[in-house]
Amino acid sequence: MSSERVAVELAKGVNGLDKIILRNTRGSSAEVYLYGGHVTSWKNDHGEELLFVSSKTLFKPPKPIRGGIPLCFPQFSNLGPLESHGFARNKVWSIDTDPPAFPTNSSSKAHIDLILKPSEEDMKIWPHSYEFRLRVALGPGGDLMLTSRIRNTNSDGKPFTFTFAYHTYFSVSDISEVRVEGLETLDYLDNLKNRERFTEQGDAITFEGEVDKIYLGTPTKIAILDHEKKRTFVLRKDGLPDAVVWNPWDKKAKAMSDFGDDEYKHMLCVEAAAIEKPITLKPGEEWRGRLELSAVPSSYCSGQLDPQRVLQGS
Ligand code: TA6
């Protein structure tokens, strides 16, 4: 890799916030801000951006970044006493210079390890000691992998319980042309109906209005088909049984100050999550949650990539 295209580069981002740029030999790249341990960019080897970040987002702590892959920890949404989606996404993380051994995909030089530990101040909000390690890796084929390892380091013998999500904002051409495959016939909690439980219809999910659903016990693979862009995102997840699907549509979009009125047309959140069954860790125990994203240049109608084959395939 030529000198100016190093695999891992520490750089200054918006408002001088520290970020890490990952690059692979084929021209794919990803960017992670230390603020929030937040992935804000993932580009394919044509330099096309695959994640959505709002043009209205502030990149100003303590406001979370609107877009990319916010980390929801230790609380998803308002499922608890903490602020919405917890505090991990508005903390400044550190680079983990000595991470414990990691079953890495050795060929991926383009990876970074980050770590978040609570300060005394933080312990007043959530009285637990933990180590949250995040590895962000860009595969040789351009896949993006995020692996979270959360360890309970309480010295008072106390367990702690949390919910979690990778709140991924995918960039799509036109939301009304997008289909999600892999969640058919599953039960879900509808956030627009007091989290009442329903069962999804048998067909792929399409979008014609606001959606905010928590799908329970999903397959480990979900496909997001963007016909116009002839692109399919394949989301693989491990240790994360649930999946949230969210699009604010027009009214909610207008109500969000850090989101453009029409931006709902070009984004879709599909979030690998652990919500229905919160995770409890005793001191010394560690949880691992892994997300792998790939973008396959194809089109459903061309038959090149039948999502059922993707979902059933390797
Ligand atoms: O993941 C879906 C959701 O919980 C929605 O209910 C909506 O609130 C969205 O997250 C964004 O939440 P935020 O706190 O980032 O504004």
Spell out the domain ranges in the chain: 8-297
- Judged against a pLDDT cut of 70, whether residue 78 lies above it is answered with yes
> Beta-carbon neighbour count of residue 35 at 10 Å?
24
Residue 247 Cα to ligand 1 middle (Å): 9
The dihedral through the CA atoms of 183, 250, 37, 20 has a sign that is: positive
> Beta-carbon neighbour count of residue 298 at 10 Å?
17
| Residue 176 DSSP class | G
pTM: 0.95
- Judged against a pLDDT cut of 70, whether residue 307 lies above it is answered with no
Say what the pLDDT of residue 1 is.
46
pLDDT band at residue 109 using 50, 70 and 90 as cut-offs: confident
Q: Which residue lies with its CA nearest to atom 4 of ligand 1?
A: 77
Q: Could you report the per-residue pLDDT of 129-148, keeping only the tens digit for each?
A: 999 999 999 999 999 999 99
Closest CA to 308 of 237, 223, 229: 223
Quote the tokens at residue 285. Answer: 């125990």
Q: Could you report the per-residue pLDDT of 194-250, keeping only the tens digit for each?
A: 999 999 988 899 999 999 999 999 999 999 999 999 999 999 999 999 999 999 999
Q: Establish whether residue 275 lines the binding site of ligand 1, counting it when its CB lies within 6 angstroms of any ligand atom.
A: no
Q: Which residue lies with its CA nearest to atom 15 of ligand 1?
A: 66
Residue 194 Cα to ligand 1 middle (Å): 14
Q: Establish whether residue 54 lines the binding site of ligand 1, counting it when its CB lies within 6 angstroms of any ligand atom.
A: no
CATH number for domain 8-297, candidates 3.40.50.2020, 2.40.37.10, 2.70.98.10, 2.60.120.10: 2.70.98.10
Instruction: Mark whether 271 is an active-site residue.
Output: yes
Instruction: Mark whether 167 is an active-site residue.
Output: yes
Closest CA to 162 of 74, 62, 71: 74
Phi, psi dihedral angles at 248 (to 5 degrees):
-70, -15
- Judged against a pLDDT cut of 50, whether residue 96 lies above it is answered with yes
d(CA 273, CA 146): 13
